[in-house]
Amino acid sequence: MAAIRYITNHIPKDTPQNRRPEYRMAPTTLTIHNTGNPTSSAAGERNWLTNPANLRQASFHIAVDELGAIECIPLNENAWHAGDGSGVNSGNRTSIGVEICESGNYAKTLDNAVELIAQMLKDRGWGVDRLRRHFDWSGKICPRLMYDDGKWTGWHTFKARVAAKLNEGKAEVSDMKIDKANVKVNGKDAKDGVIIDGSVYVPLRDISERIGATITWDNKAKLATITTKEAK
């Protein structure tokens, strides 16, 4: 995994509004947020936590932007980010809160967030099943830029990217015997197939086109449909 710039700049223990209450925490999940502020950076989010004009109690552990990440509260202490109270089993008391900034190059920010979260999961021996949305704790539409009118497309994509990063470089190990199969259609060579456990598998699109059939693919249903000329 590529390392991103990571700065530790903890807010003082006496920060107003009890933003760093120092409840000890053994985290079990990571909670992902968007900042809800399209103009602030990770440094700006960190500075807002100690700004006298800030009268809210809300806090978080890490902010990440296009430049890197800043840790604002120790990861073994709680922060007020999940919106579900102060109970010992609440997200506030069991989860590390990561704010994804919305300013600047958001695509680069997401790249950094994927790197950061994947590394945090790897360091803890966790998988993406340990990821949570702010929404999962309190029903708030957050991370809002992943919401997509309730389909949460961005969230599913984010988790998939983190999973891919976690699996990066892992070797595939298989005890199956795989051999090459030469394929001919109407006497002419087609793309090679493979033999796996005694069965021959061929490239479906190439074979279909060679016999004059059309093929369509429904990615959502994971369905391939072949239609011959006679069936049209």
* Domain architecture of the chain: domains with CATH: 6-166 (3.40.80.10), 178-227 (no CATH)
Determine the average pLDDT of the residues in 165-179: 65
Render pLDDT for 52-89 as a digit per residue (tens, 0 to 9).
999 999 999 999 999 999 999 999 999 999 999 999 99
For residues 50, 54, 59, 63, the Cα torsion angle rounded to the nearest 10 degrees is -70
- Write down the pLDDT at residue 186: 87
Q: Which pLDDT band holds residue 229 (cuts at 50, 70, 90)?
A: confident
- Three-state SS for 37? coil
pLDDT in the model for residue 116: 98
pLDDT band at 173 (very low <50, low <70, confident <90, very high): very low
Q: Is the model's pLDDT at 228 over the cut of 50? A: yes
Residue 113 has a pLDDT of 98
Please choose, from the candidates 35, 97, 41, 44, the residue with its C-alpha nearest in 3D space to the C-alpha of residue 66. 41
Q: Which residue has the tokens 């960190």?
A: 46
Q: What single-letter DSSP state applies at residue 104?
A: S
Between 226 and 13, where is the model more confident?
13
